[in-house]
Structure 1
Amino acid sequence: MKYYKIKRCKYSNLNFIYFNITNINNKVSSIRINNGILAREVRVIDKNGEMLGVLRTSEAIAMAESEGLDLLEIVSNVNPPVCKIVDYGKFRYEQQKNAHKTKAKQNLVRTKEVKIRPNIAIGDMEIKIKNAKRFIEDGDKVKIILSFRGREITHNQIGYDVMNKFKEDMLSVSKIESDIKMEGKHIFMVLAPISKRSSIKN
């Protein structure tokens, strides 16, 4: 969880904003904007991305305000600091939108299907296992589906043997989310990636 301490100048909502952001690692980062910028001189990038050179901070702020924009410090660990003329409201919106997209992408787990038959050849089985491992390495779950045709179901133990062999070859890279079970003319199981935390414990 992040905690924000915000100071505001009484003359303008965005004239003086200074964020102290403390994250879970107790690292503090700062965002300085307009009169919150401490340096007397700054290297300025205009709204189009063109470098304007080194200007007095007051001059750069006035230039930004003349366009109805803000001066944002984007690189603070150089001398002079690098600042950009931006629409700060739009900038914050884009930052938050990108953060949400990244988080959603990280949390997205898909389930891929791998279909096999009870009489699958050894070479084909190796290819199916290779594909399943690739899906797991990509962070996806894998549903293995073995289907019987016609009278094959009367020898369902062959299907179970094939599924157990598949599971045995996958346990080094995955964990069982739903173990082998039969429904109708199909036997299936679901495998999931091993979490980093679990792999560290092991």
Structure 2
Amino acid sequence: MPPRPRFDRRAPVRELPNINDRINYPQLRVVDADGAQLGVIDREKALEVAKDRELDLVLVSEKADPPVCRIMDYGKYKFEQEKKAKEAKKKSHQTEVKEVKMRYKIDQHDYDVRIGQATRFLKAGDKVKCTVIFRGREIQHTALAETLLRRMAKDLEEQAEIQQAPKREGRNMIMFLTPRKTPLAKKDGDDTQVATKAVRTIPAPPRPTGLKPAATP
């Protein structure tokens, strides 16, 4: 004899929506998809009307007397409700302060990693605390640390704006960035500067070797 399937008491019970044949009330007050009142009608008649219109009969107010149902496209209604719930959850996001730590001596790869971390935090709607840590006599290089933090703010200016400028705090130099609320205004001449920079970075062709200079007539 095969073993009986075990029932997991911890598993959440999925609540099925009260639509169509799951509605068991004999009398219903029905509203159509356009909001027009169809009055109080029998359950069977309400189901027939919904079926003729290729829509669903959805229970919207069970406590009313008689219960209120609406004729609608339940799939579309469910999608819109889930979309609204996601938007509400996004708006209710609790802003956190995420920290990105580094030393004032940092190579390009590690710097790019910190930029990537800060970008993810900012896109999630969180503030970013950028911290440069000093050890021992490194505390005398606060100017270099401030330069590093301002470079970071510049590289992140499309996603963030400075909430608190770089300042020394104990044996650290800190700066706070907050997600940018308004798009960064494009400055005149940016395209020209980028093009000029690109031209300047094109390497010159190698000079031919092994050739004697032409004789001067």
Which TM-score band (shorter chain)?
A: 0.5 to 0.7
**Unmatched 5+ residue regions in structure 1?**
1-46, 62-70, 89-94
Tell me which amino acid in the other structure corresponds to 1:86.
Answer: E
Aligned to 2:58: 83
Cα offsets for 1:31-56 (capped at 9, x unmatched): xxxxxxxxxxxxxxxx863522899x
**Unmatched 5+ residue regions in structure 2?**
1-15, 37-48, 51-55, 65-80, 187-217
Matched, 1:52 2:27: no
| Aligned pair partner of 1:178 in 164, 167, 183 | 164
Give the TM-score normalised by the residue count of structure 1. Answer: 0.53
Provide closer, same or farther for how the CA distance between residues 48 and 107 of structure 1 changes in structure 2, counting only shifts above 3 A: closer
Count of paired positions: 134
Deviation at 1:103, TM superposition (A): 6.1
Matched, 1:113 2:99: yes
CA distance in 2, matches of 1:124, 1:54: 61
Provide closer, same or farther for how the CA distance between residues 153 and 83 of structure 1 changes in structure 2, counting only shifts above 3 A: same
Q: Which has the higher strand share?
A: 1
**Where do 1:5-154 residues align within 5 Å?**
49=18, 51-52=20-21, 59-60=27-28, 76=34, 80=50, 82-84=57-59, 86-87=62-63, 102=88, 106-154=92-140
Provide closer, same or farther for how the CA distance between residues 53 and 119 of structure 1 changes in structure 2, counting only shifts above 3 A: closer
**Which protein has the larger Cα radius of gyration, Structure 1 or Structure 2?**
2
Provide closer, same or farther for how the CA distance between residues 172 and 104 of structure 1 changes in structure 2, counting only shifts above 3 A: closer
Provide closer, same or farther for how the CA distance between residues 138 and 168 of structure 1 changes in structure 2, counting only shifts above 3 A: same
CA distance in 1, matches of 2:171, 2:32: 61
Tell me which amino acid in the other structure corresponds to 1:190.
Answer: F
* Percent identity of equivalent pairs: 26
Provide closer, same or farther for how the CA distance between residues 114 and 76 of structure 1 changes in structure 2, counting only shifts above 3 A: same
Provide closer, same or farther for how the CA distance between residues 54 and 151 of structure 1 changes in structure 2, counting only shifts above 3 A: closer
Deviation at 1:104, TM superposition (A): 8.4
CA RMSD of aligned residues (A): 3.9
Contact 1:146/1:188 (8 A) holds in 2: yes
SS in 1 for 2:92: helix
Contact 1:143/1:188 (8 A) holds in 2: yes
Contact 1:118/1:158 (8 A) holds in 2: yes
Aligned to 2:142: 156
Aligned to 2:183: 199
Aligned to 1:35: none
Cα offsets for 1:54-92 (capped at 9, x unmatched): 99x98225xxxxxxxxx8x5955696473316347xxxx
CA distance in 2, matches of 1:105, 1:53: 34
